[in-house]
Amino acid sequence: MASFAERMASALVLWLAVYLSGTWAVDKGNFKTCDQSSFCKRQRALKPGESPYRALLETMELTNTRLTLQLINDNNKVHLLLELYRLQGNITRVKINELKPLKPRYEVPDVLIREPPTEPLSLLSQDENGVVLSLGVESQRVIISARPFRLDIVEGHEVLMSLNSRGLLAFEHLRMRKDTQADPEPEKKEEADPDNQAETAKEEEEKVEEGMWEETFKSHSDGKPNGPSSVSLDFSLPGVEHVYGIPEHADTLRLKTTDNGDPYRLYNLDVFQYELYNPMALYGAVPVMLAHHAQRTTGVFWLNAAETWVDISSNTAGKTVFGKMLDYVQGSSETPQTDVRWISESGIIDVFIMLGPTPKDVFSQYASLTGTQSFPPLTSLGYHQCRWNYNDQEDVQSVDAGFDEHDIPYDFIWLDIEHTDGKRYFTWDPHKFATPKEMLQGIMDKKRKMVAIVDPHIKVDSNYKIHNEIRSRGFYIKNKDGGDYEGWCWPGSAGYPDFTRADMRAWWASMFAYDQYEGSMENLYTWNDMNEPSVFNGPEVTMHKDAMHGDWEHRDVHNLYGFYVQMATAEGLIQRSGGVERPFVLTRAFFAGSQRYGAVWTGDNAAEWDHLKISIPMCLSLGLVGISFCGADVGGFFKSPSTELLVRWYQTGAYQPFFRAHAHLDTPRREPWLFGPENTALIRDAVRQRYTLMPYWYLQFYQAHHTGQPVMRPLWVEYPQDPATFALDDEFLIGRDLLVHPVTEEGVRGVTAYLPGKDEVWFDVHTFQKHNGAQNLYIPVTISSIPVFQRGGSIIPRKLRVRRSSSCMEHDPYSLYVALNPQRTAEGELYIDDGHTFNYEKKEFVHRRLSFANNLLSSVDLAPDAQFTTHSWIERIIILGASKPSKVTLKTADGQESHIDFEFDASMSVLTLRKPGMNSGADWTVMLQ
């Protein structure tokens, strides 16, 4: 019970003293700027408009599935191979690699769910200046210009996107290292062989710049045996003023231009006390950017796992609204345009251009490449109670009892690193957690669950089974000299398993078997933290880039590491149940495709109002690139929140996909009942609101799993033609039908929410007050207010009988909230399954369409081939914006009719149908007369 520091190994203390000292802001000096990353500096020094690349049209080959073409760099005569594919679903893939690299360059495996199916390309025309190909749909064409090389995708007369239009394609070819001592200056040989002896010619032309063959950052030296290998390409987006995505950054939803600072960086890093509103890299990286204007949404997926920087510039960024109007009035305006440039340290250029045209199309297109959000167990959508750390089994038991005592529901209680035996994952502290199964059984008796942390750093300790096995199987990542790579992390000296190896992942997965992971039970799930990977004594708190994963350098695979850790862990949880149960795994690091394996959170935030605010754009950005199951630590991880902030954070978190409270070891306890009865009641109310909406959340995840649509959405996704929505990130939609504008400011008495939709109406879910769309609505708030609105035209199923966990609510009846639009219609869906197995894949579920029109509300089967028996029934139907009927009749599938009692509140136009009582899975119709 000494303080944290006293318990740590002395070397770790030393590190921590350095790492944790000082102020509450990130130590920016620990992380590289573009200038300190030699490839970024080299690439960024290139000036636009001087592209040395030329397409060698005579090398063009067009098959049924692809076009290939060589490019030549006229400066160094290096040949590149361009591959162009038309993929199903309006996607164009462009790959550029060296024609004959000295050794293979890394191509990212395992992220695409399959080799994307292609569609035929056809040649429309060709001359010495270029080639025109048809993309099949809507007069879409690809124009390849030869000199300089440039690629334009056009539809009709409109250019959708141009590649290398600014001439910033730059592909550093692999080369032999020259003996710099003997030949410090590149010697101009007069060979000038005009024939294709490019190999000799190009060597001579290259300048040797600093940082090409090694670079040092803060005493960490990066040997680069392969030399310079970076790649870069620019994209122009005519008509576009809004770009989004490329998480993870603590920044606004709408990405900013980077002309006056560093580019956005994608390099998974364990950033201590990250700073808000800047382009620094954080824990995860999804190299996907969406571009949007009122007529079209497109996306670019840059499939590269190395350190990546993204520059954004815009020709309108500097202009004021007035300036833009002036341009418009004078007709002198150039078209707005956003230019984006991607720079990666190694690998190849492999780009998927998703052509939309709607936001939903882009989501589907991206989902067709990397898959959709995994369908989580229903319970994982409930409330999660976490803290670093619950001290021991008694502590767990008393926190669990505290929730019952204060009648606050929760589903998962979490254990952080202190539950292990000396930070040896898969083990339990023999004193504090001596009988984990007893503890888990106690949790299970309440129909609740637990998550225990399993990090990927493995304590180097010959008495630790996991370490011994990994070492003896040769599964550790190697250092550049071939030995096992070791770094410092929580356990002290630690090895890092090579999760890029399929055999390693299979072994790791097998460790989650009940007979391997001692003390585990079926209600124990997993949390993968520190998987950037975090290496306390490594450069930028991560792994040395010259560490080796088999033949590949860590440099090549860095951003994939966390993705693979979660993949292997999720697989382990599936396997332990014989493939029956859905896994739940939370990860901090992620990459494109991570959505397939579970949830992510926004890492180690702080108990500050700005951190509460930023949770919205951070999760919105993740949702846009497929990762829907996102949340921020409720209350803030570092520091201690004021009571008001804590309450507001619960209110916000209750309406975000992953709802977990978490706190740092050094902060005072903050279980929901520790702040007096009023605040306990406020938090209880927020959590209960979450639980009443579980059917709606579950449906959203079912749909996300099927379609790739984000669960938590920016408004512009549903209102793509309304520019007022384009930059909104203090409010959001859950699915289509709920708009949430949480209170994220201290001490305010009101918020202004934008309600979109010119001909739409929105109903306050608490008061049923109706508001018109397309307006900024001022909403007076008190400390209990969570401004939430249901869209007129929607039907939302709720369960109003909130119990102590979501499992307890399984068979409870539904209440249907029918919010009528001005046309007096509404639509919604209801999805029910067992909540935890993969049996839904075997069509064991109920999926109904609920629709209201012409005073008829009916439930029809959306999946007639599916079968599932539910005990749940329809308890009440609340129709918002209704008029008073004279009678209400229920007609069931067998043709029987019965009268339904109802109440009508004329002041709010709310009609409540009392206890219609039909089974939720049945066909029925309710008639208002």
* Chain-centre distance for alpha carbon 562: 13
Please state the closest distance from residue 388 (CB atom) to other proteins, in A: 10
The answer to whether 189 touches 205, Cβ cutoff 8 Å, is no
Residue number, 771 or 803, with CB nearest to other proteins:
803
529 labelled catalytic: yes
Residue 406 as a binder of other proteins (CB under 8 A): the answer is: no
* Chain-centre distance for alpha carbon 899: 48
633 labelled catalytic: no
Residue 118 as a binder of other proteins (CB under 8 A): the answer is: no
The answer to whether 876 touches 900, Cβ cutoff 8 Å, is no
Please state the closest distance from residue 860 (CB atom) to other proteins, in A: 23
Please state the closest distance from residue 887 (CB atom) to other proteins, in A: 18
Of 58, 334, 445, 551, the residue at the interface with other proteins (CB under 8 A) is: 445
Of 177, 473, 669, 766, the residue at the interface with other proteins (CB under 8 A) is: 669
Residue number, 113 or 800, with CB nearest to other proteins:
800
Residue 596 as a binder of other proteins (CB under 8 A): the answer is: no
Please state the closest distance from residue 801 (CB atom) to other proteins, in A: 5
Stretch that binds other proteins, among 103-111, 738-746, 754-762, 909-917 (CB under 8 A): 909-917
Strands 599-601 and 585-587: parallel
Residue 446 as a binder of other proteins (CB under 8 A): the answer is: yes
Residue 917 as a binder of other proteins (CB under 8 A): the answer is: yes
Stretch that binds other proteins, among 3-11, 299-307, 481-489, 515-523 (CB under 8 A): 3-11
Of the candidates 775, 748, 739, 745, which has an alpha carbon nearest to the alpha carbon of residue 759?
A: 775
Q: Rounded to an integer, what distance in angstroms lies between the CA atom of residue 359 and that of residue 352?
A: 16
Residue ranges in 362-401 that form contacts with other proteins under rule CB under 8 A: 391, 395
| Exposed / middle / buried, residue 527 (Cβ in 10 Å: 0-12, 13-18, 19+) | buried
Contacts of residue 307, defined as CB under 8 A and 6 or more positions apart, other chains included, come to 37, 39, 40, 265, 266, 267, 344, 345, 545, 555, 558, 559
Please state the closest distance from residue 106 (CB atom) to other proteins, in A: 41
Residue 194 as a binder of other proteins (CB under 8 A): the answer is: no
Stretch that binds other proteins, among 287-295, 477-485, 622-630, 804-812 (CB under 8 A): 804-812
Residue number, 166 or 670, with CB nearest to other proteins:
670
For residue 232, give the amino acid letter: S
Please state the closest distance from residue 786 (CB atom) to other proteins, in A: 17
Catalytic residue among 429, 604, 737, 812: 604
Residue 876 as a binder of other proteins (CB under 8 A): the answer is: yes
Residue 666 as a binder of other proteins (CB under 8 A): the answer is: yes
Task: Give me 389's structure tokens.
Answer: 């750390």
Of 324, 801, 843, 849, the residue at the interface with other proteins (CB under 8 A) is: 801
Catalytic residue among 152, 416, 529, 833: 529
Of the candidates 182, 141, 183, which has an alpha carbon nearest to the alpha carbon of residue 162?
A: 141
Please state the closest distance from residue 669 (CB atom) to other proteins, in A: 4
Helices (H) and strands (E) in the chain, counts: 17, 53
Residue 473 as a binder of other proteins (CB under 8 A): the answer is: no
Residue ranges in 676-695 that form contacts with other proteins under rule CB under 8 A: 688
C-beta contacts of 78-86 below 8 A and 24+ residues apart: 78/171, 78/173, 78/198, 78/202, 79/198, 80/53, 80/171, 82/55, 82/149, 84/121, 84/133, 84/142, 84/144, 84/151, 85/116, 85/118, 85/121, 86/118, 86/119, 86/120, 86/121, 86/135, 86/136
Of 56, 727, 808, 908, the residue at the interface with other proteins (CB under 8 A) is: 808
Of the candidates 21, 91, 105, 58, which has an alpha carbon nearest to the alpha carbon of residue 344?
A: 105
Task: Give me 8's structure tokens.
Answer: 């740590």
Please state the closest distance from residue 813 (CB atom) to other proteins, in A: 8
Stretch that binds other proteins, among 76-84, 667-675, 790-798, 842-850 (CB under 8 A): 667-675
Please state the closest distance from residue 668 (CB atom) to other proteins, in A: 5
Residue number, 304 or 806, with CB nearest to other proteins:
806
Question: Which residues are 143's β-sheet partners?
Answer: 132, 152
Stretch that binds other proteins, among 47-55, 96-104, 322-330, 662-670 (CB under 8 A): 662-670
For residue 266, give the amino acid letter: L
Task: Give me 709's structure tokens.
Answer: 């649509």
Residue whose entry in the numeric block shows the structure tokens 């990066």: 222
Please state the closest distance from residue 465 (CB atom) to other proteins, in A: 25
Residue number, 290 or 874, with CB nearest to other proteins:
874
Number of Cβ within 10 Å of residue 483's Cβ equals 9
Residue number, 707 or 912, with CB nearest to other proteins:
912
Of 802, 826, 910, 918, the residue at the interface with other proteins (CB under 8 A) is: 802
Could you report how far apart the first and last alpha carbons of the chain are, in Å?
A: 70
Binding mask 10-49 for other proteins (x = CB under 8 A): ----------x-----------------------------
Of 800, 863, 866, 908, the residue at the interface with other proteins (CB under 8 A) is: 800
Q: Rounded to an integer, what distance in angstroms lies between the CA atom of residue 548 and that of residue 561?
A: 13
Residue number, 193 or 666, with CB nearest to other proteins:
666
Residue number, 398 or 772, with CB nearest to other proteins:
398
**Residue 379 DSSP symbol:** G
Residue number, 368 or 389, with CB nearest to other proteins:
389
Residue 431 as a binder of other proteins (CB under 8 A): the answer is: yes
Please state the closest distance from residue 477 (CB atom) to other proteins, in A: 32
Pick left, alpha or beta for residue 679 (phi over 0 → left; psi -120 to 50 → alpha; otherwise beta): alpha
Please state the closest distance from residue 909 (CB atom) to other proteins, in A: 20
Cα-based angle 176, 180, 184 (whole degrees, multiple of 5) = 125
| Exposed / middle / buried, residue 251 (Cβ in 10 Å: 0-12, 13-18, 19+) | buried
Q: Rounded to an integer, what distance in angstroms lies between the CA atom of residue 558 and that of residue 581?
A: 30
Stretch that binds other proteins, among 32-40, 57-65, 124-132, 443-451 (CB under 8 A): 443-451
Q: Rounded to an integer, what distance in angstroms lies between the CA atom of residue 54 and that of residue 96?
A: 13
Please state the closest distance from residue 447 (CB atom) to other proteins, in A: 6
DSSP 140-177: EEEEEETTTTEEEEEETTEEEEEESTTS--EE----PP
Q: Rounded to an integer, what distance in angstroms lies between the CA atom of residue 144 and that of residue 126?
A: 9
Of 804, 836, 847, 848, the residue at the interface with other proteins (CB under 8 A) is: 804
Residue ranges in 834-873 that form contacts with other proteins under rule CB under 8 A: 873
Number of residues that bind other proteins (CB under 8 A): 35
Q: Rounded to an integer, what distance in angstroms lies between the CA atom of residue 403 and that of residue 881?
A: 37
* Chain-centre distance for alpha carbon 451: 21
Residue 875 as a binder of other proteins (CB under 8 A): the answer is: yes
Stretch that binds other proteins, among 297-305, 345-353, 723-731, 798-806 (CB under 8 A): 798-806
Task: Give me 878's structure tokens.
Answer: 């609340």
Residue number, 7 or 28, with CB nearest to other proteins:
7
- Write down the H helix ranges in 637-756: 643-653, 676-692, 694-707, 715-718
Residue number, 737 or 875, with CB nearest to other proteins:
875
- Write down the H helix ranges in 577-693: 609-624, 643-653, 676-692
Residue number, 215 or 812, with CB nearest to other proteins:
812
Of 123, 325, 434, 665, the residue at the interface with other proteins (CB under 8 A) is: 665
Active site positions, annotated: 529, 604
Which residues in this chain contact other proteins in the complex, by CB under 8 A?
Answer: 1-6, 20, 391, 395, 407, 431, 445-447, 665-669, 688, 800-804, 807-809, 812, 873, 875-876, 914-915, 917
